[in-house]
Amino acid sequence: MNPTASFGPNNSGLEAGTINGSVHTEFHHHAPPGSRTALVGLGGVGKSQLAIEYAYRTRDRSPETWVFWVHASNADRFEQSFRDIANFIKLSGRQNQKANIFQLLRDWLRDERKGEWVLILDNVDDANFLVKAQSTSQDGQTNGIDSGNLQSLVSYLPQCPNGSILITTRSRNTALKLVEQRDTITVGPMGSADALTLFEKKLGGRGNCDDAAELAAALEYMPLAIGFQKSDRKRTSLLNYEGGQLRRDREAKNSIMITWQISFDYIRKIRPSASNLLSLMSFFDRQGIPKESNNNNFVHSDANYSDDEVDDISQSSISDEFEVDILALRNYLFISINLDGTTFEMHGLVQLATQKWLQAHGQQERWRQQFIRNLYAEFPTGEYENWASILYKAAWYALTIGKGVEAEKMSIQAMKVRRRILGREHNDTLDSTAMVGLAYNLRGRWDVAEELFVQVMETCKKKLGADHPSTLSSIANLASKYMN
């Protein structure tokens, strides 16, 4: 292995197999010679550690393979890394001030006689400087001036049979500017067993196993949060604690808070409404953030709109804006969408870091009040129809858990309201009547229950037909009475 930067011995415990057992195998599947692969994950999840571990494993497996590390957070650092590589391999022509260092290194990498290589681009969170056309001045420095032969920096990353490229990024959108969708690997938090193993290694076997397991769970199994140097059990302190990791670049930000703030600030810059949405979401239960309670955030959160102006805003445009905001947050893995498609989930430490940011910038109370307003908007108003619906559903729940008295009281109230407003033969009224019958049935008042079940069944047959699901359901209720 011929690295361009030394990160010291690999003794952090954050091994590829430890952080995510499938990632190392999956990367080998994705990364034959000539390939490009991107590791995508939330800040602090261990992408750079995986890349470092892969570099060490490459050295162990193939000592003659070159491994080059490029700090790719911005154009200046990218160029400096290329110059460091050129100096390390003593690249001919590198000292010529008129030389294009990117072209020189690209030509060297393309030369199969130089051997196999792996190029690791770490922390590519904004790919714009890579894909934007650059001109090269006479001193070899890159700039964005439209002169000369324009080329993007990414065009200097060769795709050839003797080399492969591994990219780490927080942004899925950034990854897709550099690799194909099939060549992205999502890196998630560690498993509980692996997190406990890492904790025990960090504590040198001195900690209590149960306490370590509890703290690992509280930290949501995030490697950067777990890989701290002091036994501080306060999550907020861990968020702000910046333990030095000698194996990473000295300018890399190791604090969880700083790591996520970089992404958060970037989203605030390019999509302020998305950062507003994240601020609002941070007040919900992190595992069940309802889509509907946030969908109107574009209108609700802007105090400058009058009621008339709000009415004039196209609901479709609001929905479109909301979907773009959701996409931005998902691209940076701040949130994920649950299988039902109606709720979102946020990592616990992302939630805490967001609220700490709001507190530090004097915005926490603003978004707490907005959260309360959005919840208030979702509650039904005081009309009789809504009251009857709430009573019916509450009676259903009481019936399910075997509380017959409560179910009877609430279902009778719902039935009376619906009979008065909707009439005796309305579908909702029939549902409430059947619910009263079920409550009577549960309490052993079978004769009264039978009377109601028959009434509902006959009405359904007349209105809906003998084969309608509501009719069949009423027959089933009657049958359950006879079974009792």
Given strand 343-346, what is the order of strands in its sheet?
Answer: 289-290, 343-346, 335-337
What letter would DSSP give residue 29?
A: H
* Band of pLDDT at residue 135, cut at 50, 70 and 90: low
Long-range pairs for 9-12: beta carbons < 8 A, 24 or more residues apart: 10/52, 10/53, 10/56, 10/247, 12/49, 12/227, 12/245, 12/247
Please state the φ and ψ torsions of residue 289, each to the nearest 5 degrees: -85, 110
**Distance separating alpha carbons of residues 165 and 153, to the nearest angstrom:** 14
**346, burial (CB in 10 Å: exposed 0-12, middle 13-18, buried 19+):** buried
* Band of pLDDT at residue 426, cut at 50, 70 and 90: very high
- Do the Cβ atoms of 456 and 429 come closer than 8 Å? no
Mean pLDDT, residues 47-54 taken together:
83
Please state the φ and ψ torsions of residue 343, each to the nearest 5 degrees: -135, 155
Share of the chain above pLDDT 70, in %: 70
Which of 448, 444, 453, 459 is closest to 477 using CA atoms? Answer: 453
Residue 368 has pLDDT above 80, yes or no: yes
Determine how many CB atoms are found less than 10 A away from the CB of residue 361.
10
* Band of pLDDT at residue 472, cut at 50, 70 and 90: confident
CA 219, 220, 221, 224 torsion-angle sign: negative
Determine how many CB atoms are found less than 10 A away from the CB of residue 9.
9
Bigger pLDDT: 339 vs 52: 52
* Band of pLDDT at residue 209, cut at 50, 70 and 90: low
Q: What is the pLDDT of residue 106?
A: 94
Determine how many CB atoms are found less than 10 A away from the CB of residue 339.
6
Please state the φ and ψ torsions of residue 178, each to the nearest 5 degrees: -115, -25
Which of 128, 134, 139 is closest to 177 using CA atoms? Answer: 128
Q: What is the pLDDT of residue 101?
A: 93
Residue 112 has pLDDT above 70, yes or no: yes
Q: What is the pLDDT of residue 377?
A: 78
- Do the Cβ atoms of 203 and 231 come closer than 8 Å? yes
**Distance separating alpha carbons of residues 262 and 257, to the nearest angstrom:** 9
User: Cα–Cα distances in Å, from 437 out to 279, 384, 399, 458, 483?
Assistant: 47, 22, 11, 14, 14
CATH classification (class only), 384-483: mainly alpha
Please state the φ and ψ torsions of residue 185, each to the nearest 5 degrees: -125, 120
* Band of pLDDT at residue 200, cut at 50, 70 and 90: low
Q: What is the pLDDT of residue 140?
A: 45
pTM of the model: 0.55
Which of 289, 287, 288 is closest to 297 using CA atoms? Answer: 289
pLDDT single digits (tens) 265-320: 888 888 999 999 999 999 998 888 888 777 755 444 444 444 444 444 455 566 78
Q: What is the pLDDT of residue 287?
A: 82
Q: What is the pLDDT of residue 196?
A: 54
Of 98-112, 175-189, 228-242, 302-316, the range with the lowest mean pLDDT is: 228-242
Rounded to the nearest 10 degrees, the angle between the axes of helix 469-483 and helix 446-464 is 160
Place of tokens 């000292």: 95
Which of 446, 459, 453, 444 is closest to 474 using CA atoms? Answer: 453
- Domain 16-186 adopts which CATH fold? Rossmann fold (3.40.50)
Please state the φ and ψ torsions of residue 124, each to the nearest 5 degrees: -85, 80
Residue 461 has pLDDT above 50, yes or no: yes
* Band of pLDDT at residue 153, cut at 50, 70 and 90: very high
Classify 423 in phi/psi space as left (phi over 0), alpha (psi -120 to 50) or beta.
left
Q: Provide the token pair at 154.
A: 């990414």
Domain ranges of the chain: 16-186, 192-256, 266-378, 384-483
**Distance separating alpha carbons of residues 441 and 464, to the nearest angstrom:** 25
- Do the Cβ atoms of 152 and 130 come closer than 8 Å? yes
Residue 409 has pLDDT above 90, yes or no: yes
Q: Which residues pair with 344 in a beta bridge?
A: 289, 337
Helices (H), 302-347: 307-312, 315-331
Residue 3 has pLDDT above 90, yes or no: no
